[in-house]
Structure 1
Amino acid sequence: MQIVLDFLIDSWNSLTTSFILKTILSSVAALAIWVIGLKHVQILGVFILLVFVDLLTKWAAIAYKMLIDEFGYDPEKIATWEKYRAIPVAFEKQLIASKYMRKGFVGKVMTYVAATMAAILFDEMSGQKQFAVSLVWLYLGSSEFLSILENLRDGGNVSMGKFLDLIKTKIENKVKL
């Protein structure tokens, strides 16, 4: 019986020690879980993943070019893993740096947030149900998608070049350019 009583006393002391701190942290955690459950925040997470994939494929394309230009590799014989393994070398040679990227990671995410906020306000003003928000998400997501495909093409994936040509042809046929 003493063991059970000691356990209950220890549990009570553990629960009440730093009670205010535990209450604050649990409130922050509850707020974070609620925010993560919001659709706009979830889509932001997906967009951030697209940006990471875009950066990784851009770095691989730069490393691929470095392997050809500086180390004399035959483009036909470069394995996919070699491009990704060469990324740290490209960083050391300062071929990969934020100043060479069209837009940095933070800039892309801030653009997403600003455009989404403006679209939410537009939808509120116009009484539309996620019309502008859907357009913004479609544009930003498709821009990242196309950038990833271009990076894969520039990284030596010939089939992505053919796929991009097909997409360009389809778009030109739709808008009659």
Structure 2
Amino acid sequence: MNLDDLLQAIYKAGQGLADAWLFKTVLASIITALSGAHASALLWFVLLVFVDLVTRWLAISYAQLTESQCRNGLLSCLLNIPAAIQAGRINSDAMKHRFAGKMILYIALTIMAIGVDNMLRLAGETPMLVRVVWMYLAATEALSILENFRDAGIEQAGGLLDFLRSRLSTLFLKLKSK
């Protein structure tokens, strides 16, 4: 696939998403509202994993531009993604399997946490595992996104990454001691 074909495919996909956007947004909101918090959380995890994937592509593109001694700003990295794909640095099959694997893991962990929380309720205890699992999974995705931004040459991401790591360590220690 050459660059023109890729850009045309991206444009068509964007057009497909933009067609009837209001209807799709309303329908998605209704489905989310009807399906409850678990489906809503799954949608957010899908979004987080997708953002993680795109930021990983930016980091790979940044590395390629840096090795080529080209401009490597954020926009340059974004525009270089098709070239990184063509060069074989970004493998869509590997990324697709990683995305699918994460989603299967997140669903399995959520089902497990729901089951444990239901057993805790039956035992008269306070359910809390779903919240802990979701918090942990969301935090690890956020850390991964910040690591990817840092690896893509965005200096501010490093400071935010250090701050978030320290805050999460404190939070997880509090949870562990309860």
The CA distance in 2 between the partners of 1:35 and 1:170, in whole Å, is 31
Q: Does the residue aligned with 1:156 lie in a helix, a strand or coil?
A: coil
Q: Which has the larger radius of gyration?
A: 1
- Unmatched runs of 5 consecutive residues or more in structure 1: 1-28
Matched to 2:61, the amino acid is A
- Aligned pairs for 1:1-177 (under 5 A) are 33=31, 37-69=35-67, 71-73=68-70, 77-97=71-91, 104-127=98-121, 128=125, 130-170=127-167
The CA distance in 1 between the partners of 2:69 and 2:103, in whole Å, is 37
User: Is the 8 Å Cα contact of residues 59 and 87 (structure 1) preserved in structure 2?
Assistant: yes
Tell me by how many angstroms 1:65 deviates.
Answer: 0.4
Matched to 1:150, the amino acid is E
Tell me by how many angstroms 1:132 deviates.
Answer: 0.5
Tell me by how many angstroms 1:33 deviates.
Answer: 3.3
- TM-score of the superposed pair, with normalisation by structure 1: 0.70
Matched to 1:162, the amino acid is G
- Unmatched runs of 5 consecutive residues or more in structure 2: 1-26, 174-178
User: Is the 8 Å Cα contact of residues 98 and 104 (structure 1) preserved in structure 2?
Assistant: no
- TM-score of the superposed pair, with normalisation by structure 2: 0.69
User: Is the 8 Å Cα contact of residues 53 and 148 (structure 1) preserved in structure 2?
Assistant: yes
Equivalenced residue count is 141
Change over 3 Å in CA distance of 1:105–1:173 after alignment to 2: closer
Further displaced range: 35-44 or 115-124: 35-44
